[in-house]
Every structure is written in structure tokens, then in C-alpha cells.
Amino acid sequence: MDRSQLVRQRGTIKSRHTRLLTTLHSGMTFNIEGQFKDEARKLRTTLVQEYENVELCHNLVLAACATQEEFNKEFCWFETFPEAHRKMLADINAYLGEGLATSLKPAGSIWSRSSRAPSRNSAQSKEEKIQEKARKVAETKLRLKQAQEEARLREIEEEKIRRLEEDKRKEELKVEAERTQRQLRNELEGHHLESQILIQQLEVEREAAREFSSRQGCAGKNQGFFFGTHTRPDAVFARAGRGRPSPQKAKKEPGRQLDPGPTWLEWFVRVVSSSVSVV
């Protein structure tokens, strides 16, 4: 598409927009008693298709269909429109290259006939807006204060619960420590009693071993008395006519040798080990 076609297309769009806005302006200027409502309704549909902003187009059509009293009361253009709508009107104005803000205003006859009412209504609406804003600010402050108070009470309650849980945990730890200490004390007393019993058993066994060793010593003395130098065993065997047995014969007949038995030390060790195993 060349430059001439672009210029021609832009001119077509500009003329269509200008025609739509001019029709709307005419409807706003001469629709004092609510005529041309069907045309305004059709115009609203066309504006929605053109500008894709339902809220703005709806406000424009309402202003076009309003009576003088309704218009003076509710449709003060650049005072009631939000910032986004003002920016949109400025963009359309810059695109069309016309005084759109001036052309969209009602005719001068309407403003001249009711110049006092809009100013009075606008002042009243401003005061109402200020009061509404102050009321919202007060409500916001009240809600914030209530939220802070609820948060403070919640923190106090959580602190109480935390302290109660800590006290309960400390009490449980104290009871557990006392029970463990009591159990250790009982175990120590039991070990001490067992050690005392074991010591007493060892003392008794030691006394018995001492008595046994003394008796064994007496038996050895008696044996030495009977088998002295004047009565040696070989002499006795010689007199009996048998003679002393040879080592080979002694090896062949091990059953005839006398078992000397355990010594007192071996016996004591056996007794102590058996008593320890029993304990």
C-alpha cells in the first residue's frame, strides 16, 4: 500500500469519526426533551464498534439522550469523567486534528440558560465527593485500628499459650529427671548390695581355704612321721619280697599310682570361680 492509499484511508476514517461525533454533538445540542433516542441508541452501537470502550460510549449516549435537567445534574463532562476517559478524548482530538473537547461540549445556549445550576450542582457534588472520601478514610482508619487491636490480642493469647506450653514442658523434664535419678540411685544401691554379698562370700571361701590348707599341712606332717628315714618304702617293699617297682612297670600300670589331688590354691580358685558364676 503506497502513501496515497494510506492518506486516502486515513481521510476516510477521519471523516467517519468526524461524522459520528458531529451527529452526537447535534443530538446533545438539540435533544433537550429526549428526541432522537433511537438514533442515539444506534449511535452507541456504532461508537462501541469504533472505539471499543463500552463505558465511555455509554456515557456519551446517555448525555445525548438526557434532558436539560438531567444533563445539568449528572453530565458535567470534564468534572465527572475519569482520567482514562479524558486521555482517550485527548487522543481522539489529536488524531482527528480538531477541537474535539470543544465540539463535544453542549451548545452555548444550554450553558447560558442554566449557568448557575451546573456550578451549584458541581460544587455540591464536589462537597459530596469530599465527604464521601473523608468517610472512606475514616472507615479505613477504623478498620486498620480494629485489625491492629485484633493482632495485639492474638499476640497476647499466643504468648500465654506459649508460656503455658513451656511451663508444662519444664515440669515434664523435671519429673523425668527425678525418675531417672531415682532409678540410678536404686541401681547403685543394688550393685552395692551385690558387691557386699560377693565380698562376704569371698571372705567365707577364703576362711574355708585357709582351714583346708592348715589341715593339709597337718596331714603332710603325719605322712612324714610314718615314712621316716628308718622306715623307707623300698625297705618295706624289700622285706615284703616284692622289691621296688621298675619305671617300665609303673608306666604299664598307671592305675596303681596314687592321685595326690588338687592343691589348696587350685581348690580355692575353683570355689571362687563357681561362686562368681552363680552370682
50 located within any domain? yes
Whether 16 is in a domain gets the answer yes
List, as own/partner pairs, every contact residues 83-88 make where C-beta atoms lie below 8 angstroms and the sequence separation is at least 24, other chains included.
85/55, 85/56, 85/59, 88/51, 88/53, 88/56
> What is the sign of the dihedral through the CA atoms of 123, 124, 125 and 128?
positive
Predicted local confidence at residue 162, as pLDDT = 92
Q: What would the pLDDT profile of 139-179 be if each residue is shown by its tens digit?
A: 888 888 888 899 899 999 999 999 999 999 999 999 999 99
pLDDT tens by residue, 61-88: 555 555 555 545 544 444 545 565 556 5
Who wins on pLDDT, 19 or 211?
211
7, 109: one domain: yes
The rounded distance, in Å, linking the Cα atoms of 278 and 274 is 6
> What nine digits make up the cell of 101?
473537547
Q: Are 79 and 106 in contact (CB under 8 A)?
A: no
Percent of the chain scoring above 90 in pLDDT: 10
pLDDT digits (tens, 9 = 90+) for 98-135: 433 344 443 333 333 333 444 456 667 788 888 888 88
Predicted local distance difference test score (pLDDT) of residue 115: 39
Higher pLDDT residue, 214 or 230? 214
Identity of the highest mean pLDDT range in 35-44, 205-214, 222-231, 235-244: 205-214
Average pLDDT of the chain to the nearest whole number: 63
Q: Which helix (H) or strand (E) holds 70?
A: helix 68-74
Amino acid 171: pLDDT: 92
Which of 60-69, 176-185, 214-223 has the lowest average pLDDT? Answer: 60-69
- 11: amino acid identity, one letter: G
- CA triplet 26, 76, 104: central angle to 5 degrees? 30
Residues 200 and 97 in one domain: no
pLDDT for residue 147: 87
Q: What is the pLDDT of residue 102?
A: 41
99, 114, 129 - which closes a domain: 114
- Among 79, 114, 149, identify where a domain stops: 114
Question: pLDDT: is 155 or 39 the higher one?
Answer: 155
Count CB-CB contacts under 10 A for residue 106.
22
For residues 226 and 139, which has the higher predicted lDDT (pLDDT)?
Answer: 139
Residue 38 has pLDDT above 50, yes or no: yes
Whether 182 is in a domain gets the answer no
The answer to whether residue 266 is domain-embedded is yes
Residue 133 in any domain: the answer is no
Boundary (domain end) residue, out of 114, 133, 148: 114
Q: Please state whether the predicted TM-score (pTM) of the whole model is above 0.85.
A: no
**Cβ proximity of 69 and 114 under 8 Å:** no
- CB 237, CB 243: distance < 8 Å: yes
Average pLDDT over residues 4-16: 50
Alpha helices (H) along 75-115: 77-80, 83-96, 100-103, 108-113
* Residue 202, pLDDT score: 86
Q: What are phi and psi of 62, to 5 degrees?
A: -60, -40
pLDDT at 198 over 80: yes
Q: Of 130, 10, 110, whose CA–CA distance to 64 is shortest? A: 110
Burial code (b: 16+ CB inside 10 Å, e: under 16) for 172-211 equals: eeeeeeeeeeeeeeeeeeeeeeeeeeeeebeeebeeebee
**pLDDT-based confidence at 210, cuts 50/70/90?**
confident
Total domains present in the chain:
2
Q: Does some domain include residue 39? A: yes
Are residue 105 and residue 7 in the same domain, yes or no? yes
Same domain, 107 and 7: yes
Residue 166 lies in a domain: no
Tell me what the mean pLDDT of segment 258-262 comes to.
Answer: 57
Q: 51 lies in a domain? A: yes
- Expressed as residue numbers, the domain containing 245 is 189-278
